[in-house]
Amino acid sequence: MAEVEYSKGLEGVVAGESVICQIDGQNGKLFYRGYNIDDLVKKSTYEETVYLLLFEQLPTAAELAEFTGNFRSGRHIVTPIQDMIRNFPPGGDPMELLQSVMSYLSGYVEHKIKHSATCNCRQTLHQVAQLATVIAAYQRFKEGKPYVVPRQDLSHGANFLYMLRGEEPLPYEAAIMDKCLVLHAEHGFNTSTFTARVVASSLSTCYSSISAAIGALRGPLHGGANEQVMDMLKEIGAVDNVDSWLDKTLAEKKKIMGMGHREYKVKDPRSYVMEGFLRELSEKKGDSRYLSILTKLEKSFRSRMDEKGKPLYPNVDYFSGSVYALLGIPQYLFSPIFALARCAGWLAHILEQRKDNRLFRPECLYTGPQPREYTALEKR
């Protein structure tokens, strides 16, 4: 049989076209619909970024006001969904809850996707608006506290912290949380987004597509990486232990979590921004334990990689977990927060997939047994 070449993990394979996100991995640049991520973080809000992703352009003041009002009015989750969250098994993973709730939410919205490529998800926005409320409700119920009704006068990041805590966050905390959501809103054909597009290619609903994307995001090689960074920090313990821990870990050929990215050959542009947030929080809260270890680890790791000529640099997960920890968010909510931010990007890609849809059905290189005779049970 002739040898067939293929790309494991589809690395380097172009699977489709998109006008949503551009990643310049050689120069460390990221753009949402042509806008640099640095500009969006500095000048935009999560809600305005969602508008950009879904409607393909920045809104006018009037358009943003209408969109924001619609978006914020859709944050509340009805009692049956609250009951579902409250009764979720205590030992269950919150990402499994998000998958389940996403499908359940679907029953409360009138879809327009029956055997067509159109839907009303740009108008309802329930998937994007309500995930934050679901996560906050989960945490409140886990702590034995009551559901906090979302407020419509707060940004998405501020409202999320408010629903978690039951009190309004400080302005700088609210701003950082909202900008973290902007950073995570979109990132091209990553694993979860590609999953969403594959499901959408069958003309399934946005809710089914996003539920599948949440499942893909759950893995430690994708959305769960920042949780593993926090485990790494706990294992290191103190800044004085960094070099000995790193020597041992590299000798055992273990992965340094938060280092390296398939797309970036330089430092992830989002990691610079996230590092800035961590510095600000560390200073204002008087707690530099995470920053000191991460700074020393990055320097030591890079010196070793430079010697080997390996382009492994911090990605966004390297600093994000520490930022969330200093905002008082428990570690098991880090991946769900990734989902609530990325939901906007997923929806944008689902809608784009439907514009010129073709069902994803790749070929598979068969390497199993050649045709053989079936042996009767009594002769085996």
Q: Which residues pair with 30 in a beta bridge?
A: 23
Q: What is the CATH number of the domain that holds 103?
A: 1.10.580.10
Are 36 and 148 in the same domain? yes
Residue carrying structure tokens 């280092």: 259
Q: Decide if 376 is inside a domain.
A: no
Digit-coded pLDDT (tens) for 77-109: 999 999 999 999 988 999 999 999 998 888 777
Let me know if 126 is a catalytic residue. Answer: no
Q: Decide if 264 is inside a domain.
A: yes
Q: Are 183 and 37 in contact (CB under 8 A)?
A: yes
Are 77 and 204 in the same domain? yes
Q: Fill in the amino acid letter for 172.
A: Y
Are 340 and 196 in the same domain? yes
Are 89 and 202 in the same domain? yes
Nearest alpha-carbon partner for 104 in 78, 124, 125: 78
Q: Decide if 43 is inside a domain.
A: yes
Q: Decide if 364 is inside a domain.
A: no
Instruction: Provide the residue range defining the domain that includes 286.
Output: 225-326
Are 120 and 145 in the same domain? yes
Q: Decide if 362 is inside a domain.
A: no
Catalytic residue among 156, 178, 317, 349: 317
Residue carrying structure tokens 């290619």: 201
Let me know if 261 is a catalytic residue. Answer: yes
Catalytic residue among 184, 261, 268, 349: 261
Let me know if 231 is a catalytic residue. Answer: no
Are 124 and 252 in the same domain? no
Total structural domains in the chain?
2
Are 321 and 186 in the same domain? no
Q: Decide if 204 is inside a domain.
A: yes
Are 31 and 104 in the same domain? yes
Digit-coded pLDDT (tens) for 280-329: 999 999 999 999 999 999 999 999 998 888 889 999 999 999 999 999 99
pLDDT averaged over consecutive 10-residue blocks of the chain (380 residues)?
76 91 96 98 97 96 96 94 94 93 81 56 79 97 97 98 98 98 96 95 90 92 87 96 96 92 93 98 97 97 90 94 97 96 96 92 91 95
Q: What is the CATH number of the domain that holds 248?
A: 1.10.230.10
